[in-house]
Amino acid sequence: MKPAAVALGVGGALIAVLLAVLAIGGMMLGASKAAGAPAGNPSVYAVADIPPEMLAIYRKAAETCPGLSWAVLAGIGSVETDHGRSTLPGVHSGENFAGAGGPMQFLQGTWDAYGVDGDGDGDKDRYDPTDAVFGAANYLCANGVGEPDKLRRAIWHYNHSEAYIDDVLARAARYSDAASLTAASATSAAALADNPNLILTERARADLLAGVVDQRVVDYLAALVVNHRISVSVFKTGHNQFVAGTDRVSNHYYGRAVDIYAVDGVDVSASADGARAVAEQSLGSAPPLRPDELGSPWPDLERYPGAFSDSDHADHLHVGWRASALVGIGFLGDGRLVLISFGLQLVRTGRHRRCRKHLQTAILLAGTGPQERP
């Protein structure tokens, strides 16, 4: 067998392995998409903030609507009446200035249509915590809350305010320990750029539309904007080539990172609960949505692999991924042993995915040409 043939044979074997890896990755991605958004267990913060009897009601009521997270009910209960602890008019009796009453603040007409006898005592009472929460679950369910792409719309029916929706979801994220993102449906960079929940600087938009942003970053942001408004300052253009204070090339340089400066309209800072919840969700997710590195204002998150905090990241989330690589060996015509390495980037078109291979050492398989880099 000629040496060149040996090299091609090794290359063919590597390509076969590559296809197998991609197939497994596709199956994992498909499984991730099929799974519903996890409700999770109460976080330490939830146990401290929510009265035990209300926490039990939220969890029980959520079971009546497939796909509804108990944490969303808790988020609404928190915003509306501090889980029934508020002493304002209309919480325990009567109505507020808008005509709403009870711990979940139902208008009488809405209660008549969607109220539920949650405790089975034969009476539908909007001032009864169990009835009120079960009624809220029923109302949200009727508006499609169990479907991820209808979550925000369902909460909007509860209160016609984007700021209200953001507040509810930020509280819900902090209440649940299910720090995991759910993959969105197939998303292109162009479609993501048009998403109203993604706010982009001019240079970030230009990078996204130019196709220089890694598909993992696109998929990650697509998952976030299902439930959040995400403000992005930079992908590649405008960022230093090197990591600050080092000679290490930043993942931004390859389009494999994103800087997020606000979550749900609130600037990232040590006191921004919504941004912290997103950071914990990101770090608790499974690959490929889980980033390889995440910089934030919270040093205690460094318990997660890849998380870090310093003064440079006090006002934004840095979320990045390393290069994907498949390494093998081959032989040159003169018999020398050489290393073959591919950088991989998944590019999604419509509902299908294809693999773009950046041949880092073109001479190895082709037998000619200079060394190239991605």
pLDDT tens sequence across 102-145: 999 999 999 999 999 999 999 999 999 999 999 999 999 999 99
Q: Mapping DSSP to helix (H, G, I), strand (E, B) and coil, where does residue 314 land?
A: coil
Residue with tokens 């089975």: 120
Q: Mapping DSSP to helix (H, G, I), strand (E, B) and coil, where does residue 135 land?
A: helix
Label residues 246-266 b or e (16+ Cβ within 10 Å = b). eeeebbbebbbbbbbbbbbeb
Average pLDDT over residues 186-201: 93
DSSP state of 288: T
Q: What are phi and psi of 261, to 5 degrees?
A: -100, -10
The pLDDT of residue 178 is: 61
CA 129 – CA 151 distance, rounded (Å): 23
Residue 224 · residue 278 · CB < 8 Å: yes
Task: Give the tens place of pLDDT for each residue, 221-231.
Answer: 999 988 789 99
Residue whose C-alpha is closest to residue 3's, from 370, 367, 326, 368: 367
The predicted model scores a pTM of: 0.53
Q: How far is CA 39 from CA 43, 73, 283, in A?
A: 11, 11, 17
The pLDDT of residue 366 is: 33
CA contacts within 13 A on the Cβ side of 145: 27
The continuous run of DSSP H or E covering 134 comes out as: helix 129-142
